[in-house]
Amino acid sequence: MASEVTRFGVDVGGTFTDIVALSPQGDVTVDKVRSTPGAVGADVWNALQRLRRGESAAEALIHGTTVATNALLERSGGRVVLAATAGFEDLLWLRRQDRSHLYDLSRDHPPPLTAHDDVVGVDERVGAEGVVRELGDAEVERVVAEVKRRRPDAVAVALLFSFRDPTHERRLAAALRRALPDTPVAASCEVLPVFREYERTSTTTVEAYLRPKVSGYVARMGADAAERGLGELRIMASNGGTLSVVQAGERAAALALSGPAGGVEGARLVGAQLGMLDLLTLDMGGTSADASIVLAGQPMVQAAGAVGGVPLALPHVLIETVGAGGGSVAWVDEGGALRVGPRSAGAVPGPACYGTGGTEATVTDAAAVLGWLDAAHPLAGGLRLDVGRATAAVGRVAEAAGLSLERCADGIIEVANAAMVRALRRVSVERGVDPRAMTLVAFGGAGPMFACRMAESLGMERALVPPHAGVLSALGLASAPDKLEFATSLHALAHELDAQRTREAFGDLETQARDALTGAALQRLADCRYPGQGYELTVAVGDSGDATAAAFHEAHRERFGHADRERPVELVNVRVVASRRGADVRLAERAGAAEARRADGRAALEELGPGTVVDGPYMLDVIDCTIRIEPGWRGAVHATGAVILERT
């Protein structure tokens, strides 16, 4: 009997784990279970087996994991020994000699992921024009002995100018792998063969730091999935594409934003099916909220960023995360101001209203006090809310803040809303994008309660709560494409690139891409700048150098508000993105006639037929979330089950 499920998407959050199953025809089935801290628990595996409904193995299980993110935030990765060119052992501490916060002299950058004593200087030197000082056999033996003596969990090798000539670095990495066969060795010429030695060294160190934990995690989960007939395990990468278990183990740093990327892909997919291509997205879960942006139907991807204050120069979907989830704890600071987060009650002990041991007031408790959440409407796993416990918890915060119960609950909501709006501004306004003509897509278990408030704060006229909003990240995972990216440095002026030189520049990268991902479509990209600039914009490479330059001018104008079309354009890096299309998704068309608004201010969304229009204030209960329609807003039920919110 053939399996009725083709692909699974599994998004493990801090409070709940979301699961989506796709049939071969693209039909969607969802489930939601409580998360097990630090692991994929038995409840998740049991739910996957229930959804499989067949004896044959599924095609794939796509997983969005926070194991890399948490390892960076919690500093729980492996002990790394760094081999660096002699004289440059302090590179990770010198950084770029910028301040952590420009106007706060008391704030420092987070320390590097390796200790001073775990940096081994290598007596060699490669310059921009080639080898300056040879790496001798005796020096290789000495460095290997020094590294072995420190008994590392992983080794990072980052030598000067290895992006131009990787001979020394490859030789040293090969010797280390022979001497330490059970220890991961990350070489910068393999991880990030591009210029800027600090970012290249930092990223390579991150890769080494994460590999022991990530490779073990994905290998164990891959074996468990195969044993249960759940298909090949694939892991969502930060760039919005999926990797095999082997690729994920070798590209651990590429998983730093694995979890949130699935939500952006889900929002893009739903927006495209509803004809909405310019989106701001907000995924509000139990622990945090993630803001992102989709322009012309494509998520915005940036070539570099930081996680936990650690620079990471790998492509990733633009995401701003704030500690404003449903489980974020409300508290009063020393000045008497009401604060929310970043600490979260998580899955254990959870918000007070869950009745699972939590006693501190959270955003979810505030929503329960205000009547936004229906105590008779169970959450995942049959969990029912205890409004009495929520009232007691919020009451304690209200007393400390000198507020009434209702005013305190509303204040908690407003503080959380303000934090999410700031994140949305950072991904839009601060990048030269006007949000007012866009659509806000609010999802996650808690996001739809805030959709109207966030949109109004940004001057937006329309918001969208997608179908399956509470599990949209898992839907994005289940349908995500396979994707790999390869890059190298190339310093050249755009007008000097003729067809022959373009083929030479991209030839090796395209060969690597075809070998790594068979049957993939290839896209050529370039990091470009005006000569003298210290930053770049990534644009698609055109049929000619002039076409590439024109694309850069336009991208510069959109991002910064101006462009100088008389100036030459310089390429500094070239990239090849290999991608294979993901699964199709069919959003079910709902039957039924439009219904009039009920007088009690609350209804279950499944009871309302397509075309139903509801004016706020009103609450719509959905199986995986709750939608609040604010006064001055109107919600229209779409045939797919989406709710389109517009200001009246």
pLDDT at 300: 93
Q: What percent of the chain has pLDDT over 70?
A: 96
Whether the per-residue pLDDT at 572 is higher than 90: the answer is yes
3-state secondary structure of 625: strand
Query: Which has the higher per-residue pLDDT, 592 or 611?
Result: 611
pLDDT at 516: 95
DSSP run (H or E) holding 13: none
| CATH 3.40.50 domain range(s) in the chain | 78-197
Contact call for residues 528 and 570 (beta carbons, < 8 A):
yes
pLDDT at 2: 42
pLDDT at 623: 86
How many other C-beta atoms can be found within 10 angstroms of the C-beta atom of residue 66?
19
- Interior/surface letters 82-97, b for 16+ CB within 10 angstroms, e for the rest: bbbbbebbebbeebee
DSSP structure string for 303-336: S-EEETTEEE-S-EE--EEES-STTEEEEE-TTS
Whether the per-residue pLDDT at 58 is higher than 90: the answer is no
Q: What is the average pLDDT value for the chain, to the nearest integer? A: 92
Contact call for residues 172 and 157 (beta carbons, < 8 A):
yes
d(CA 371, CA 348) in angstroms, rounded, equals 24
pLDDT at 597: 61
Q: Burial of 41 by CB count in 10 Å (0-12 exposed, 13-18 middle, 19+ buried)?
A: middle
Whether the per-residue pLDDT at 262 is higher than 90: the answer is yes
Average pLDDT over residues 428-448: 94
Of the spans 12-26, 91-105, 319-333, which averages the highest pLDDT? 319-333
pLDDT at 38: 65
As a dihedral over the C-alpha atoms of residue 554, residue 556, residue 562, residue 565, rounded to 10 degrees, the angle is: -60
Convert the pLDDT of each residue in 355-389 to its tens digit.
989 999 999 999 999 999 988 877 766 778 999 99
SS3 annotation, 39-102: ECCHHHHHHHHHHHCCCCCCCEEEEECCHHHHHHHHCCCCCEEEEEECCCCCHHHHCCCCCCCC
DSSP 36: B
Of the spans 43-47, 118-122, 349-353, which averages the highest pLDDT? 118-122
> Model pTM?
0.89
CATH match of 78-197 with 3.40.50: yes
Q: CA 475, 454, 419: angle at the middle one, nearest 5?
A: 95
Which region among 236-245, 506-515, 581-590 has the lowest average model confidence (pLDDT)?
A: 581-590
Place of tokens 């630090």: 38
* Closest by Cα among 420, 422, 396 to 409: 396
pLDDT at 517: 95
pLDDT at 1: 33
pLDDT at 214: 95
Whether the per-residue pLDDT at 56 is higher than 70: the answer is no
**Which band of pLDDT confidence, cut at 50, 70 and 90, is reported for residue 514?**
very high
Residue type, 129: E
d(CA 623, CA 606) in angstroms, rounded, equals 9
| CATH 3.30.1490 domain range(s) in the chain | 482-580
Average pLDDT over residues 339-349: 87
Q: Phi first, then psi: what are they for 194, rounded to 5°?
A: -130, 165
Whether the per-residue pLDDT at 577 is higher than 60: the answer is yes
Average pLDDT over residues 56-67: 86
Contact call for residues 268 and 299 (beta carbons, < 8 A):
yes
How big is the chain, counted in residues?
A: 648
**Which band of pLDDT confidence, cut at 50, 70 and 90, is reported for residue 166?**
very high
pLDDT at 41: 75
pLDDT at 380: 63
Which region among 466-470, 502-506, 588-592, 630-634 has the lowest average model confidence (pLDDT)?
A: 588-592
DSSP 469: G
3-state secondary structure of 631: coil
d(CA 352, CA 338) in angstroms, rounded, equals 18
Query: Which has the higher per-residue pLDDT, 15 or 358?
Result: 358
Place of tokens 């503080």: 415
Convert the pLDDT of each residue in 457-478 to its tens digit.
999 999 999 999 999 999 999 9
**Which band of pLDDT confidence, cut at 50, 70 and 90, is reported for residue 223?**
very high
Q: 4 is written with which tokens?
A: 């009725």
Q: Phi first, then psi: what are they for 585, rounded to 5°?
A: -125, 130
**Which band of pLDDT confidence, cut at 50, 70 and 90, is reported for residue 285?**
confident
Q: 640 is written with which tokens?
A: 């797919």
pLDDT at 32: 85
Q: Burial of 43 by CB count in 10 Å (0-12 exposed, 13-18 middle, 19+ buried)?
A: middle
pLDDT at 211: 97
* Closest by Cα among 202, 250, 167 to 484: 250
Whether the per-residue pLDDT at 261 is higher than 50: the answer is yes
Whether the per-residue pLDDT at 599 is higher than 70: the answer is no
Query: Which has the higher per-residue pLDDT, 246 or 379?
Result: 246
DSSP structure string for 518-575: TT-EEEEEEEEE-TT-S--EEEE--SSHHHHHHHHHHHHHHHHS---TTS--EEEEEE
Q: Dihedral of CA 293/296/297/300: which sign?
A: negative
Contact call for residues 578 and 483 (beta carbons, < 8 A):
yes
Q: Which CATH class is domain 482-580?
A: alpha beta
Contact call for residues 433 and 279 (beta carbons, < 8 A):
no
Q: Phi first, then psi: what are they for 557, rounded to 5°?
A: -65, -45
Residue type, 524: R
Whether the per-residue pLDDT at 162 is higher than 80: the answer is yes
pLDDT at 384: 84
pLDDT at 593: 67
